Amino acid sequence: MNRAIMAVGVVVSLTLAGCTVHPQGESEERQAALKAGHGYEKPFAKRDIPPLPQRPTPDDLVRYALLTNADLEQQYWQWRAAIEQVPMDGTQATSLAISVGTTLNEGAFENDRTMLTAGNDPMTDISFPGKLSAAAQRALDNARAAGHRFRKAQFELRKKVLDTYDDYAFNAEMIRLGRENLQLLQIAATITQVRNRTGLGGQQDVLRAHDEADLALNDIENLQSQLPIQQAALNALLSRSPMAAIPVPDSLPPPRTVASSDRYILDLAAKANPELTALSAEIRARHEDIQLARLQYYPDFDVAASTDLKGIAQTLLGQFTVPILRYEAIAAAVAQAQDNLRAAEAMRRQTGHDLAAQLVDDIAALHDADRQLDLLQHTILPRAREAVSFERMAYQTGSASLLDLLDGQRSLIDIERLATTLQITRDKSLVDIESIDARGLE
C-alpha cells in the first residue's frame, strides 16, 4: 500500500509535469507548412532547381524566384518556427525533480532515515491545465498568421519580379523607339545641312538639327546604361549572380485580360487577402491572451511523493500557490490583453479600408489605361499611320517636303511611346490588384 502511494505520487508528478497540449488544427498547420516548403527541404547549395529557359517569360521568372528567393524562404522558416512554439507553450514549464535526504547515525547511513522524494521542480509550479490550452491555442493562431504572411510574401515577390521585368521590357522598347527617332533626326540633320549649302536654310537650323540628334543619342545611351542595372535587380530577386544573363525582351509582355468585375475583385480581396487573414488570426490570438490572463487568477500547484529506503514511511505532498498578492497585476494584465485586442481589431479594420481604397485606385488606373490604349490603338495610331502614308505620297509627288514627312513620323513615334507607357502602367496596376486579391500564383 505504501509503495502504491509512492508510485501514484511519481505518476501524478510525471503526468502533470510532462503534459503537452496539442490544440485542434496544429497537425493541419504542420502539414500545410511542409507542403508549402517542399522546395526548401535541402540546403540551398544542394537543391535541384530547374534552370531558367534560354528566353524566360515573366511567368518563368516568377516560378524560379519562388524557389530561390532568400527573403521568401526566411518568411517560410519563420512560419515553421512559429508552429514549433505551439508545443513549447502547451507544455508544462516544470520538470521532474528527484532528491535524496538522509540522517547519519554515528557516521553511518540508515535506510529508514534516508528519504527518496520525487515531484515537480519546486522552483516552477505545475500550471493549471487550462492555461496550457490557452497558451497553445494562442501560439497556433500566431503560427497561422505567420503562414498567411508567407503567402503575402509570395504575392509581393511575384509583384516585384513582374514590375522589374516590365521596367526591363519598357526600357528595351524605349530604346527601339529612340533608335527610330534618331534615324529620322539624323536624316533631318543631313537634309538641313544640304539645304544650308544650297542657300535654302540657315546655319542655325543646321546646329539645331544636330543638337536634336545628339540629344536623342544621349537619351538612348542613358536608357542602355539602365539595362545591366535592371538585369542585376531581376537577378537579385532570383538569388543569382548580378551578371547572369537575362535576354533583353524583344517586345512588351502580352497584356493579360481581366475577367472579373470590380465588385467581385473587391469582395475577393476582403475574403482572401493574406494580410487581412493574418490579422484575423492575430485577433484570435489576442482573444486567447485575454483568456490566459484571466486564468492567472487560478492557483498553480506542486506535487511530491517521498519514501524511506526501507519502504516503511511514505509521504504524499500537495501544495497550492494562490495568487492573492498579485491580484492587481493580474487585473492589469487582463485589461492590457483587452486593449491589445481592441488595437488589433482597429488595425484589421483600417487595413481593410486601406486595401479597398488601394484596390479602387488600381482598378481606376487599369480602366483608364484600357480606355486610353483603346483610343490610341484603334483611333489615334491608325490616323497617325495614315497621315504618315499621305505625307509619304505627297513627298513622292513633290507636294510636301521631306521635313514634313519626318515630322509626321516623329509624331507617330511619340504616340507609340505613349502607348508603351500606358501598357506598362496597365500591367503594373493589374499586378497590384492580383497581389491584393490573392490571385496569380495558381
Decide if 442 is inside a domain: no
Only one residue has cell 535526504, namely 101
Cell of residue 288, nine digits: 486567447
Distances (CA, A) of 358 to 32, 189, 334, 341, 391: 30, 48, 36, 25, 46
What pLDDT is recorded for position 19? 74
CB count in 10 Å sphere of residue 325: 7
Decide if 410 is inside a domain: yes
Q: Which domain holds residue 12?
A: 2-436
Q: What CATH number is attached to the domain comprising 353?
A: 1.20.1600.10
What pLDDT is recorded for position 395? 67
- 56 with 161: CB under 8 angstroms? no
Name the residue among 216, 261, 234 with its Cα closest to residue 166: 234
Q: Cα–Cα distance between 175 and 220 in angstroms, integer?
A: 6
Decide if 233 is inside a domain: yes
What pLDDT is recorded for position 106? 61
What pLDDT is recorded for position 409? 84
- 118 with 64: CB under 8 angstroms? no
Distances (CA, A) of 225 to 55, 65, 179, 230: 21, 25, 15, 9
- 101 with 117: CB under 8 angstroms? yes
Decide if 7 is inside a domain: yes
What pLDDT is recorded for position 3? 52
Decide if 441 is inside a domain: no
- 179 with 220: CB under 8 angstroms? yes
Decide if 90 is inside a domain: yes
Cell of residue 230, nine digits: 535592371
Instruction: Kindly provide the b/e burial profile for residues 299-313, where b requires at least 16 CB atoms within 10 angstroms of the residue's own CB.
Output: ebbbbbbbbbeeeee
What pLDDT is recorded for position 12? 52
Decide if 424 is inside a domain: yes
- Computed over its alpha carbons, how large is the radius of gyration of the chain? 37
Per-residue pLDDT of the chain (442 residues; tens, 9 = 90+): 445 444 545 555 555 545 788 999 999 999 999 999 988 988 998 888 999 999 999 999 999 999 999 999 999 999 999 999 999 999 888 777 777 877 766 666 666 677 777 777 777 777 887 888 999 999 999 999 999 999 999 999 999 999 999 999 999 999 999 998 888 888 878 877 877 777 766 677 678 778 888 888 999 999 999 999 999 999 999 999 999 999 999 989 888 888 788 999 999 999 999 999 999 999 999 999 999 999 989 888 778 778 777 777 777 787 788 888 889 999 999 999 999 999 999 999 999 999 999 999 999 999 999 999 999 999 999 999 999 888 878 866 767 777 777 888 889 999 999 999 999 999 999 999 999 988 877 6
Q: Cα–Cα distance between 179 and 188 in angstroms, integer?
A: 14
What pLDDT is recorded for position 10? 52
Q: Cα–Cα distance between 195 and 403 in angstroms, integer?
A: 11
How many structural domains comprise the chain? 1
- 240 with 56: CB under 8 angstroms? no
Distances (CA, A) of 243 to 107, 171, 364: 81, 18, 38
Positive or negative torsion for Cα 63, 69, 75, 76 = positive
- 150 with 76: CB under 8 angstroms? yes
The backbone torsions φ and ψ at residue 250, rounded to the nearest 5 degrees and listed phi first, read -75, -25
pTM (predicted TM-score): 0.86
Tell me the residue ranges of DSSP E strands in 15-169. Answer: 96-101, 104-105, 108-109, 115-120
DSSP helix, strand, coil percent of the chain (3-state; round to 5): 70, 10, 20
Decide if 249 is inside a domain: yes
